[in-house]
């Protein structure tokens, strides 16, 4: 079946041949009707665009050939021109050839198209599979990336936890060393030192450092179990004189005892100031010594127990006598004690003097006033002398001048009150001075002690507490004794002053009573009546 492309090629061929026919048969050009053979419908339908292209490709070179044909015709006009039948036959031959080639090409294309379609389907299927694999791989990659991110977070978290555990273990080891008994340091010294230096050891991995620290934790737990039932181990300790002895330690709970190999040094083990070695405090009881030696030798028995865990021995060793305590205060203690002695001596003297003085009793004052009322001068003088003390002396002076002017009697009695006041208050201000000066001397000792402390710090630094204790003791002890002297002195001064003031007030009250009685019954009236 011919396609439209084939018909187009036929028409092109006919149009090409028409000029030639017109030249050969001019007379019959108008009379003859050119009819091109119509292609069979089935042939036209069988043609494809590919065959049309091939036909065009074959027909295309025929056009340039017209020029040579025309030239040849001009050069040889005697050659006969092709007729329409020749052209039609030629075109038909070409058409048949093109159709055959087209059919061969179609057959070849059909033969090649099946495997190509199969291969295309296979490739498309592979493409679909590849895309699915790509999507699956992409999903796996996203999942792996998410897992990787989670793993990184987990690793960071685990590193933080490991760092925290390492710091926690380091802190535990730092706190463990001072808690371990000084006698046990000989047993665990190497392990504690290795665990303490493990975080700073660059030759160890993180796992090895952690294992070293964790090993010390296990050792400390085992130590607790050992202390529950008791543990014994070899070591050395110093006696009270500082001599080193080898022997055996026995630790039960917080209590540790030691027995030397020769059995001469047996006692509890404690830490002493400025001593890196465990020090043995011997038992004062022979029975305790025997029981301890038996436990060390046989690993069983009864052990003496110190409920203070050695604090009693420490307190006993640090207690000073009174003289030693005073000597720590330094030279300022001398004037403080001098003031204390003088203040106490004067207070005792004044207390004895004031205690011997009594205020006029009501009975004796009434007898005196009765005698004055009766204008019995000798009886009044005798009654005044019986009263005694400064008040009696004052009243005696007043009675002796009965009959004289009232103002004179008052002045004489007031003079006696003034003299008695001076005598009663003598030396009392010195007690007040001691009460005020003693704290100042204590403050002076505090200042000198602080100065000495800073001098020791400048020379020896702050590492040795015993070197600094001298200045601190001087600073505190002088203040302590200054207050000890000042407070009692102040109280004694207040007491004695109040007692002296009471005596003086009693004198004034007795004098006023006498003058009132004299005013009621003047002595001059009795004299005139006689």
Q: Which residue, among 339, 395, 347, 383, has the nearest Cα to 497 in the 3D structure?
A: 347
Is 388 found in the same domain as 299?
no
Mean pLDDT throughout 401-427? 86
* Residue 482: burial class (beta carbons within 10 Å; 0-12, 13-18, 19+): buried
Average pLDDT, whole number, for the chain?
77
Handedness of CA 342, 345, 349, 351 (dihedral sign): positive
99 lies in some domain: yes
394 lies in some domain: yes
Is 396 found in the same domain as 349?
yes
167 lies in some domain: no
Contact yes or no for 262/250 (Cβ under 8 A): no
Is 345 found in the same domain as 311?
no
159 lies in some domain: no
> Which stretch, 207-211, 272-276, 289-293, 496-500, has highest mean pLDDT?
496-500
Give the per-residue pLDDT at 186. 78
What is the distance between the alpha carbons of residues 230 and 471, in angstroms, rounded to a whole number?
A: 44
Give the per-residue pLDDT at 8. 59
275 lies in some domain: yes
Is 299 found in the same domain as 197?
yes
Q: Which of 258, 281, 316 is the last residue of a domain?
A: 316
Place of tokens 């050839």: 97
Is 492 found in the same domain as 345?
yes
27 lies in some domain: yes
162 lies in some domain: no
pLDDT tens by residue, 52-105: 444 444 444 444 444 444 444 444 555 567 788 888 888 888 888 999 888 888
Q: Does position 13 have pLDDT exceeding 80, yes or no?
A: no
Q: Which of 136, 159, 176 is the last residue of a domain?
A: 136
Percent of the chain at pLDDT above 90?
A: 15
What predicted TM-score, i.e. pTM, was given to this entire model? Answer: 0.49
Give the per-residue pLDDT at 10. 66
Q: At 304, is the secondary structure helix, strand, or coil? A: coil
What is the distance between the alpha carbons of residues 401 and 237, in angstroms, rounded to a whole number?
A: 93
The boundaries of the domain holding residue 11 are 4-136
Is 243 found in the same domain as 94?
no
Is 235 found in the same domain as 373?
no
State which H helix or E strand residue 438 sits in. Answer: helix 428-460
Is 350 found in the same domain as 302?
no
Domain count, the chain: 3
Place of tokens 């001593």: 275
- Going by the DSSP 8-state scheme, the letter that residue 285 receives in this structure is S
Is 202 found in the same domain as 65?
no
Is 426 found in the same domain as 378?
yes
Is 285 found in the same domain as 239?
yes
Q: Which of 316, 349, 370 is the last residue of a domain?
A: 316
Is 390 found in the same domain as 289?
no
Write the DSSP assignment of 42-88 as a string of letters.
HHHHH--HHHHHHHHHHHGGGTTTHHHHHHHHHH-TTSPPPPHHHHH
164 lies in some domain: no
Q: What is the 3-state secondary structure (H, E, C) of 233-284?
A: EEEEEECCCCCEEEEEEEEECCEEEEEECCCCCEEEEECCCCCCCCEEEECC
Handedness of CA 49, 50, 52, 53 (dihedral sign): positive
What is the distance between the alpha carbons of residues 188 and 194, in angstroms, rounded to a whole number?
A: 10
- pLDDT top residue among 172 and 154: 154
């Amino acid at each position: 079946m011919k396609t439209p492309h084939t018909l187009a090629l036929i028409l092109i061929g006919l149009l090409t041949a028409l000029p030639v026919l017109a030249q050969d048969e001019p007379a019959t050009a108008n009379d003859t009707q050119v009819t091109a053979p119509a292609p069979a419908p089935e042939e036209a339908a069988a043609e494809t665009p590919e065959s049309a292209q091939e036909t065009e490709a074959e027909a295309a070179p025929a056009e340039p050939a017209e020029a040579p044909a025309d030239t040849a015709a001009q050069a040889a006009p005697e050659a006969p021109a092709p007729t329409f039948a020749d052209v039609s036959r030629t075109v038909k031959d070409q058409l048949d050839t093109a159709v055959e080639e087209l059919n061969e090409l179609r057959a070849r294309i059909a033969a090649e198209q099946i495997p190509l379609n199969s291969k295309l389907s296979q490739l498309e299927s592979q493409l679909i599979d590849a895309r699915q694999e790509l999507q699956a791989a992409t999903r796996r990659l996203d999942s792996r990336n998410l897992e990787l991110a989670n793993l990184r977070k987990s690793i960071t978290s685990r590193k933080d936890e490991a760092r925290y555990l390492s710091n926690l273990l380091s802190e535990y080891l730092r706190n463990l060393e001072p808690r371990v008994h000084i006698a046990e340091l000989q047993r665990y010294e190497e392990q504690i030192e290795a665990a303490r230096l493990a975080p700073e050891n660059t030759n160890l991995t993180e796992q090895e450092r952690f294992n070293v620290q964790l090993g010390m934790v296990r050792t400390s737990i085992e130590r607790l179990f050992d202390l529950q039932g008791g543990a014994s181990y070899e070591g050395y300790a110093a006696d009270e004189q500082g001599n080193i002895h080898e022997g055996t330690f026995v630790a039960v709970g917080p209590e540790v005892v030691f027995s030397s190999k020769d059995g001469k040094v047996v006692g509890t083990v404690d830490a002493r100031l400025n001593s890196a070695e465990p020090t043995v405090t011997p038992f004062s009881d022979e029975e305790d010594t025997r029981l301890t030696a038996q436990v060390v030798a046989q690993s069983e028995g009864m052990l003496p127990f110190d409920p203070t865990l050695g604090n009693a021995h420490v307190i006993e060793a640090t207690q000073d006598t009174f003289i030693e305590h005073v000597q720590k205060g330094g030279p300022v203690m001398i004037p403080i004690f001098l003031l204390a002695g003088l203040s106490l001596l004067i207070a005792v003297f004044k207390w004895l003097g004031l205690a011997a003085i009594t205020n006029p009793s009501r009975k004796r004052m009434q007898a005196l006033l009765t005698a004055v009322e009766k204008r019995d001068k000798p009886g009044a003088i005798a009654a005044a002398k019986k009263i005694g003390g400064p008040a009696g002396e004052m009243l005696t002076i007043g009675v002796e001048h009965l009959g004289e002017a009232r103002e004179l009697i008052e002045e004489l009695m007031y003079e006696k009150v003034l003299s008695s006041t001076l005598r009663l208050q003598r030396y009392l201000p010195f007690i007040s001075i001691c009460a005020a000066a003693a704290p100042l001397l204590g403050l002076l000792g505090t200042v000198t002690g602080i100065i000495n402390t800073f001098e020791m710090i400048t020379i020896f630094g702050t590492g040795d507490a015993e070197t600094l204790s001298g200045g601190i003791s001087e600073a505190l002890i002088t203040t302590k004794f200054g207050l000890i002297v000042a407070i009692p002195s102040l109280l004694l001064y207040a007491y004695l002053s109040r007692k002296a003031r009471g005596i003086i007030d009693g004198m004034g009250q007795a004098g006023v009573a006498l003058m009132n009685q004299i005013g009621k019954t003047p002595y001059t009236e009795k004299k005139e009546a006689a």
